[in-house]
Every structure is written in C-alpha cells, then in structure tokens.
Amino acid sequence: MTAMNMVQALNSAMDVMLARDPAVIVLGEDVGYFGGVFRVTEGLQRKYGAHRVIDTPIAEGGIVGAAIGMGVNGLRPVAEIQFADYIYPAYDQIVSELARLRYRSAAEFTAPLTIRTPCGGGIRGGQTHSQSPEGVFAHVSGLKVVMPSNPYDAKGLLIAAIEDDDPVIFFEPKRIYNGPFDGDPEKPAESWAGHPMGEVPEGYYSVPIGQAAIARPGEAVTVITYGTMVHVCIAAAADLGLDAEVVDVRSMVPLDLDTLAASVEKTGRCLVVHEATRFGGYGAELIASIQERCFWCLEAPIRRVAGWDTPYPHAFEWEYFPGRARVRRALQALMQEAP
C-alpha cells in the first residue's frame, strides 16, 4: 500500500492497464507529452510511447468517434475529455453511437470504451469548468456511469471500467483530486495522506462497477450521495453529532439499489445529496426508486439537497455549492419530522 491522491491513483490505474493489456490506449487533449491539465496521465507517454498515449486535436466529437472505431477494431481506448463541461460536442457519438452499438448490432459490434472526465465545482471554474452532468448520461440506455469519491475507489473503479466490455463514463470529482473536501473553502486544503481510502495498492486490483459503499455506517438516518458530497455529508452529520449512515453510490448505472434500500429500511429516514442541479437530476431517480421499495419503512418524506437550478456562477461559488450548512439544515429538518 502507498499513500496516493486521486490523481496518482488514476494514473496508476492506467499505468497498470497499459502494462497488462497491449490493447489499452489513452487519448485526449494534452494527455501525452504534457500529461494532462490535471496531471492524471503524467509520464504515461514517456513510458508507453506516442502510439499508445496519444495527443489529439481539440475535437471531442472526433476523439470519441475515433475511439469508437478503435474499440470496434480490437483496442480498449481510454479517452479523456478535459472537462465534463466540454463533453457535449461528443454527445451524439456517445448517446447515438457508443451507447447503442451493442444493442443495434445484436451484440456483433461493440466498443469497450472508457471516457474519463473531471467534473464538479468548488475550484473557481465558473460555468464552463464546474458542471456535474452525470444525470444526463445516466438517463441514456447502454452507458455505465461511475463516480469515485476517494483514491482507492478511483483506481479500482477505473481498472474495472477499462476491463469492462461496455462503455463507461467515468466522472472524476476534481475538487477532491488532491484531498478530501468537507465543504469549508476557508479551511486549508487537506491531503489524502492519512485518510484510510488514500492507501492504495501499487499493483492491479479492481472495485466492481454496480456496487455502492457504506462510507460511514450509522443508525439514525441514511444519506445517499456520491463524489465530493460524500465528504461534505460526513462532515455535516458530524457537526450535528448525528449517527448518519452515509452511502456512496459510486455507480450511477448500474445502480446498487439493494444496498441503498437496506440502509433506508434500517434507518427509516433518507436524504439524497448531489452537486448537480436539482430539477430532473439523478437524485430524483434515487428518490423515486427508494420510495417504490421502502415507502412503508419511511418515517418522513425523503428530502434532497442539490445545486440550484442555475448555471454554476463564478462569483457566487459558495452560495451555489450545496455545502455543509445546507446539508445540516436538511438533516435537522428531516430529523424533526414526526414518524
């Protein structure tokens, strides 16, 4: 085990897979010589060559379109979209082609593609470097959608994604690349060193896609969340001295509803939290599914905390971000509801 931050863990996942499988290649803007704007692919081109770690033109639709063809021709491409905010030029190739290739061809043509992309706010990125579009992709049949909340899961899930024969959209919450974030922007940045999930094996291992994790066990209330918000929710519950069970979804598609429902059946109360906008968001799916399964166990209506339904505003980042105070207020209100 080695202490790694999420950037190093993701880099290690690609390093391991490039070494294990000659079909694996990495492509994207600035990923080669420079090693990526967040340094996630640093050193890989030096180690594996410019034919396997490929710098591309600034054309996301071209990156994904070409990667699909490479996948059909036996490669296992890992494409980086530099920011999730830039993924939309590739949307047609992802939704109309990649997601449905297996289906439309009765499984005769497939493209085992992983699309990595940094998402989320809290880095003063404004409305073009802060979005969380996981719900947009979770809604599309045929895509697996994943978001880790720590270095250990990041490496294990990325290896699982690369090995998966189905396309995986792999969201990386960039606010926690270098350390967990409890929602307080005034506090000095924390490091992953010393965090139990910052201890990462150097070699090969995988974390299965389609399984949620209990990030913090508890009895009083279930908080269902993922990505950066896992850490914000744990901190908010601690502020209140509340014995909350924080469930990290990890895999939006396929969804591990059994783990989520078991927790809600145990606690009887549920808060859903995500950074993405609220209206029609992924949280709505979580709430509907849990309500269908757990209605008679609920002691209070399910609540949710999410980003406001506005673009991500540069000057009002911390008023926008669904931070610790907003999560605390929602938890207090939820706990005050009579059973």
Partner 1 sequence: MKSRLHVPSVPARPGEEPDFSYVRLSPAGAVPRPPVDVAVRDTVHLAEGLVRVLDGSHQAVGPWDPRLAPDVLRTGLREMLLTRIFDDRMQRTQRQGRISFYVRSWGEEAVSVAAAHALRPGDMLFPSYRNQGLHISRGIPLVDLMCQLLSNTRDMCKGRQLPVMYQSVPKRLFTISGNLATQYPQAVGWAMAAAIKGEDDIAAAWIGEGSTAAADFHHALLFAKVYRAPVVLNVVNNQWAISTFQGYAGGEQRSFAASGPGVGIAGLRVDGNDFLAVHAATTWAAERARAGHGATLIEHVTYRAGAHSTSDDPSRYRPKDEFPAWPLGDPVERLKQHLIGLGEWSDPRHAALSEELEATVADAWKQAMTYGTLTDGPRLDPALMFEDVFKEMPPHLEAQRAELAAERAAGAAGGPT
Catalytic residue list: 129
Residue 104 binds partner 1 (CB under 8 A): yes
Interatomic CA distance for residues 92 and 94, integer angstroms? 5
Q: Rounded to whole angstroms, how far apart are CA atoms 205 and 155?
A: 8
Q: Which phi and psi angles does 5 have, rounded to 5°?
A: -85, 180
Q: How far, in Å, CA of 324 to CA of 240, rounded?
A: 11
What's the closest the beta carbon of residue 285 comes to partner 1, in angstroms?
10
Q: Output 109 or 316, the one with its CB closest to partner 1.
A: 109
Q: Are strands 213-216 and 244-248 parallel, antiparallel or unpaired?
A: antiparallel
Q: Which is nearer to partner 1, 257 or 284 (CB)?
A: 257
Fill in the per-residue mask, 224 to 253: x = in contact with partner 1 (CB under 8 A), - = not in contact. -----------------------------x
Q: Is 292 in the site for partner 1 (CB under 8 A)?
A: no
Q: Does 73 bind partner 1 (CB under 8 A)?
A: yes
132 to 151, contacts with partner 1 by CB under 8 A? 141-142, 144
- Give the one residue of 4, 10, 13, 25 binding partner 1; rule: CB under 8 A: 25
Strand partners, 246: 216, 223
CB of 141 to partner 1, least distance (A): 5
The 76-80 sheet, strands edge to edge? 53-55, 24-28, 76-80, 114-119, 168-173, 144-146, 251-253
Paired residues of 79 in beta bridges = 27, 115
**Least distance CB 216 / partner 1 (angstroms):** 25
Smallest distance, partner 1 to C-beta of residue 149, A: 21
Q: How many CA atoms lie within 13 A of 253 on its CB side?
A: 21
Interface positions with partner 1 (CB under 8 A):
25, 51-52, 56-57, 59, 61-62, 65-75, 89, 92-93, 96-97, 101-110, 141-142, 144, 165-166, 210, 253-255, 257-258
